[in-house]
Structures are given as C-alpha cells and as structure tokens.
Structure 1
C-alpha cells in the first residue's frame, strides 16, 4: 500500500513538473483565465490534459512509437503547431485591453470561450509534448525506472537524481494525470485571484501570453523548416 501511495505521489510531482513550466500551453490557460474567468481557464487546462490523455492512449497502442519513424511527419506537425501559435498570439494581442466585466458580461465571455479546443489542438502539435510522449511518456508504460525531476523543462539538469521512481505502475500513471489536473485547476484559480486584486493584471497577462505564443510560434516554424530542408 505504501509503495502504491509513493508511486502515486511521485506521479503527481511528475505531472506538476511537466505542466507548470512556462510555455505555450500555460500562455493559453493564462489568457483564458484573466480575460474570461476561472471556468474558461480550467477548460483550456483540460484541453491540454485531454491531449496528454490522447497521447497516452496512442502510446499504449504503439502509434506514438510508429510516428517516431517518420521525421517528416513530425516536422509537419511542428510547423502546424508554429502556425497555430502565431494565430493564437494574434488573438491574445487583440485581448490586451481585456479585463473582468460585470457578471453578465463575464458569463457571455465564458460561453464564447474556445479555450478547450484551442489548447487541445495546440497541444497535439506542441513539439515538447510530442517529444515527451515519444520518449519519457512511452517509458511510463514499461517496467523500469525514471528520474522524475530530471525531465523538468529548463531546470531538469539541476534536479537530476532527487526523485527516481519505478515505472510501469498504474498508480504512477494515475498520479501523473492527477498532477496535471491539479495544475489545470489551481493555476487558473491563482490567476483569477491576482486579477481581482490588481486592476492592470489582465491586460499584462494577455500581452505576455501573446509574446510567449508568438515567440514559440517563430521557434517552432524555424525548427520545422530546418528539419524539412
């Protein structure tokens, strides 16, 4: 029982470590949260969550490993992701002046939110998530060991060796998706709380989201172009 609980808790940490670092997914979640409210932010978060669940099923079926054999397809997916990010960056820039409205107007904005679809489609073409499921994600399904914090974007090298867990455990996988779900609900809540206290918070976050999405879009398009050439 203790082993299962330890694996589940390690999975939660792993899920949080994957979901928390700054990037295009969190930029979309942040924009939706501060402009349209907590519900819209959570929907965007679960769009990314659903994409990860889709990748998990594809990895289980062996489709992810099959796609790894075709670099051209991967490059085209990366290019499509870059174009989508530029498009969403433009949309975020249009909402720089956005802020919380009256309850009635906020309800209308939440109904108009496309955050779930936006995050889901973007996540399916996000090279970081594709690369994760082509490598580490597939390994979660097989008996072995994984250095959880070493896979954290940007700071993984400094955290290597701190949390090594056994893979192939259902408890680890459940905890992993639980960690992502925790971030998908907690991150929007923190943003909404901050927005209510700081009047200029929403336009600042929308502007930063536009910059992040635009920057990643350019990088991904460049990566796709160099891979195809």
Structure 2
C-alpha cells in the first residue's frame, strides 16, 4: 500500500510541476498547434530532460551550489530572460501562421522545439528552485503521513508516502510524461475544430514568454546589482 501511495503521490508531484502555465508550456502549446502532436511531445520531452538532469544533479548535491553562488544564479536567470525574449520574438512571427500551411513532418522544426524547451528549462530559476526545495525533499529517505500532516487525525496512517523511494521517483516522472503527451494531444484535438487557434496560441505564447523574459531580467538585475556593487566597492577600497 505504501508503494502504491508513493507512486500515486509521485504522479501528483510530477503533474504539479509540469501543468502550471509558464514558459515551457507556452513552447509546448506553440509547437503543438503549429506543427502537430509529435512536435509538441518533443518540446515537452525537452523540458522533461532538464528535470532528469536536475534530478541527477540534486542526487549528487550539485544543485545546492546555486544557493552559495549569487553571481552564477543571477547570470543564469539573465540568460533565461534573454532566451525567453528571443523565443517570444519567434512566436510573434508565427502569429500569422496557420495549421494548414505547416508541414508537421519536418524533422528540423520538431528537434528545434526539443532544443528550445530544454534550453529554457535549464535556464529557468523556478525549475531549479523546485529541485532546491521540494525536489531535494522528495529524494531524502523518510516517511510522510499525508493525512497526519494535513491534521486529518481520523485518517492518520491511511496514506503514508515514502520519500526517496524508487516508486516516488517513477511516479514523479510518470506524471511529467502524462502531461507532456496529454497536453499536446488536447491542443491538437482542439486544432482540428478551430483553425483560428493557431495564431491565437502563437500570440499568447509570445506574450507569456516576453512577460517571463522581462521578469527574469529584472530578477537577474536585482540579484547581480548588490554583488557587483559590493565587488566594485571592495575594488575601490583596495
């Protein structure tokens, strides 16, 4: 029962990480409605590959280095912001696009979606933050009584999740897999009924990516400014 509970909890955690609106889902949506289900899934796999990389880094403790290196974290956020603005420009160019005018079998376009999502995910501080906090907690061996934590004493002991267990990790990536295959499928199904959805999704993707790009750049500036100022003051004083 504990193994099944851990597996299901992992699926929920995976969906919770993958499903919220954000830059990765904007890329998946754009690829899906403009180039088809395969391209959307490839973009989703790009984001999932980044999670697999962060998973390995969290296992060996390398992700925690960012907590002690504000310059590195700030630079990463800045690069992420620039990438998002660049991809927002590309999405804006697709606003006049149409489902009917796109060849969904072009391998270069599909692989570009994978690379685009992978690059964004690797430079996404929110994804790194997940692995610094929740992700690390999931990997540490232990047991969580879900209902006891929720203060539902009548059901205490009914749902115990083993953190750090293979079942939790398998469920976690299974949840991500469900999203990156199901989300493009839902968009493609809607595409068949609403031809006008293509430019709308492209426009929304451009706006979302541009918005996140500006936020990331502002975050990077806020992180780097004190560090650079302190370094400059030290240099002048020296």
Whether TM exceeds 0.5 here: the answer is: yes
Aligned 8 A contact 1:13 1:176 in 2:
yes
2:162 match: secondary structure: strand
Are residues 208 and 65 of structure 1, via their aligned partners in 2, closer, same or farther at CA, if it must alter by over 3 Å?
A: same
- In 1, the alpha carbon distance for the partners of 2:38 and 2:132 equals 31
Q: TM-score when scaled to structure 2?
A: 0.85
Q: Label 1:164 to 1:191 Cα distance change in 2 as closer, same or farther (>3 A).
A: farther
How many residues are matched? 215
Does the 8 A contact of 1:141 with 1:169 survive in 2? yes
Deviations 1:75-110 (A, max 9, x none): 11000000000000000000012222268x3323x5
Q: 1:72-111 residue pairs with structure 2 within 5 A?
A: 72-101=71-100, 105-108=103-106, 110-111=107-108
State the shift of 1:166 in Å.
3.4
- Aligned partner of 1:170 in structure 2 is 166
The verdict on how the C-alpha distance between 1:164 and 1:81 changes in structure 2, with shifts beyond 3 A counting, is: farther
Distance 1:33 1:67, change over 3 A: same
Tell me what 2:232 maps to: none
Q: Return the offset for 1:25.
A: 0.5
Q: Is the 8 A contact 1:147 1:161 kept in 2?
A: no
Matching residue of 2:129 = 131
2:109: which partner in 1?
A: 112
Shift of 1:138: 1.3
- Tell me how large the CA RMSD over aligned residues is: 2.0
Report what 2:212 is aligned to: 216
Unaligned 5+ segments in structure 1 are 149-159
Residue correspondence of structure 1 range 3-82 to structure 2 within 5 A: 3-82=2-81
